[in-house]
Chains A and B, each alone.
Chain A
Amino acid sequence: MTNDERHEDQLIEEALAGLERDVTAPGEPRADAPRGADAETLVRLYTEVLGLVAYDAPPAAPAPELRERVLALVRGDETMEVEPDEPQAAELHTPPVPFPPGATLFGQPLEPPPRHPAAVGPSGRPARRWPLALAASVALACLGLSAWFWLGLEQQRAEIDSLRVQRDRLEEQVAELEREDGGELAALRQRLGLVTSPAVEVMPLRPVEGEAAAPPRSRGVLYVAADHQHWFLSVDGLPPAGPERDYQLWFIAGGKPVPAGTFDLEPGAPASLSAETMPAGTELAAITVEPAGGVPQPTGPMVLKSTEPLKIL
């Protein structure tokens, strides 16, 4: 098998894996990005192949009311109720028959209907058909109850549909917020990924003894990724650096301090700093108090320093 064939096989696998992805989710960067347009085109072609496989299923015409229900929902008519079918004419045209004296339905007396010639027997006396009338009434009552339950069910379905629409809208809003705050969110995710990575190296920073500017309970932790490039510093317990002052982080590489960034703290709040580069050969880290904005070489008192050297790769 040639490299090209192997490459194509990988792209087919990627298209197949796409079956498990949420196709309405925002585009994700490829794991092996960047790559050529040819690869993107091939993945696209194989995705279309998969889309065409669906055409193997025989088509099915949806019930006509489904289209109206969908459109009613999107038009905001979320309480649309589908009226039950009209009863058949024959059901409505039950011939009037006399009820027995005192017969009731749901506590209401059943009034005898006016006599109809058809209800009169050959003898001229009223036909004794009240059992049939009672059965018809019970049947109508059952029909009414069924319709009532059916309407209730339809209302619940409409509510469920409405809730689904609301859920989708909320998901959309969340996605929009994520898009708006995408940079910050991505940075947070990156930091989270760094500090929770099993390969991360943790370098504690402790107060420098005898240094008045370093409260005994202050501390810092420097998380260094396995690539020794990405790092994240978390500092807690230091007071604000003071007017026109900042804290400055230094990496010590080859015995020389290299400035790595400045930060300040709100009273009682932690601070953090991160970047994607670290000088080669960094062994130690330290934090000093410097003029606001930082300086090229340390001048101020050292407040925190690492207690153990970083392993050099």
Chain B
Amino acid sequence: MAPSTDSTPLADHLGALGDAALVRQVADRRPDALGELYDRFSPLLLGLTVRILGSRGEAEEVLQDVFLHVWNRADRYDPSRSSVSTWLVLIARSRAIDRLRSRRVVERTLEAVQQEAPGGGHASPEAAENVLIRERRERVRSELAVLPAEQREVLELAFFQGLSQSEIAGRTGIPLGTVKTRSLLAMKKLRQALRPAIRELL
């Protein structure tokens, strides 16, 4: 976790808050609460945006944009619709995908992803990560790893590259119906496999 400069008792108190309570503090315009939220989720969100964009510079710009957006829209967070983690992930993903689409150079991005290892230049991103998030990541990765490759591919193309099911069908040459079936199967399997992680988020 990135070291916090807010070493006041209030900051200590914020560290003990749950994610949703922390977002409420952000909605109350408390910058130190945003700092705590940043410390918890920025490695996850930057990893996601780097994976989508393939460029650390752009990914960091998106990350900054995401947290400024959260600062202004924290009051719109609806805990009945998603966990804070998912809310932030979807905001960051949406922003990164928007940028990716505007670039219209998906192929070049893929090359960049291969050339630029995520986290390069910054030592030990895992060490900066919240323990809970790290454990969650390990669980998710192990479950995604056992997903059939064709189902995983469809899910990754949709999530990390923002492709619609028709676009996936066009790119992979798989019939649209098959793409839909694979998406549905992947989602159902993950829902079963990730029950503990989901329960933790709710």
Binding site for B on A (CB under 8 A): 8-9, 12-13, 15-16, 18-20, 22-27, 44-64, 66-71, 73-75, 161, 164-165, 168-169, 171-172, 175
Contacts and interface: CB of A to CB of B under 8 A. Distances in A.
A23 B78 CA distance: 9
B69 A60 contact: no
A59 B119 contact: yes
Contact of A60 (B46, B187, B202): B46
B46 A61 contact: yes
A27 B56 contact: no
* Chain A at the B interface: SS class: helix
* Chain B at the A interface: SS class: helix
B137 A55 contact: yes
B88 to A, nearest CB: 8
Given A59-B46, A60-B59, A49 B198 contact: yes
Interface string B181-201: 001100110110010011001
B14 interface: no
Contacts of B58: none
B42 A62 contact: yes
A312 B67 CA distance: 56
B69 A24 contact: yes
A161 B68 contact: yes
A75 B33 CA distance: 12
B83 A12 contact: no
Given A16-B187, A19-B94, A58-B118, 15 more contacts: A19-B159, A23-B81, A23-B91, A27-B81, A44-B82, A47-B81, A48-B82, A48-B86, A52-B201, A53-B155, A57-B160, A60-B56, A60-B122, A66-B64, A168-B73
B140 A56 contact: yes
Contacts of A74: 31, 34, 68, 71
Q: Could you say which of A22, A59, A73 has the most chain B C-beta atoms within 10 Å of its C-beta?
A: A59
Given A24-B76, A48-B202, A164 B89 contact: no
A146 B60 CA distance: 23
B124 interface: yes
A49 B197 CA distance: 9
Given A51-B201, A70-B64, A59 B191 contact: no
Interface of B: 2, 5, 31, 34-35, 38-39, 42-48, 50-51, 56, 59-60, 63-65, 67-69, 71-73, 76-78, 80-83, 85-87, 89-94, 118-119, 122-129, 133-134, 136-137, 140-141, 144, 155-156, 158-160, 162, 183-184, 187-188, 190-191, 194, 197-198, 201-202
A19 B90 contact: yes
Contacts of B123: 61
A51 B86 CA distance: 4
Q: Could you say which of A16, A18, A55, A70 has the most chain B C-beta atoms within 10 Å of its C-beta?
A: A55
B60 A75 contact: no
Contacts of B50: 57, 60
Nearest to B77: A24
Nearest to A69: B64
Contacts of B133: 55, 59
A69 B155 CA distance: 34
Contacts of A73: 64, 68
Contacts of A169: 72
B42 to A, nearest CB: 5
Which 5 residue pairs of A and B lie closest in terms of their CB atoms, listed nearest first?
A51-B86, A57-B51, A59-B43, A168-B72, A61-B125
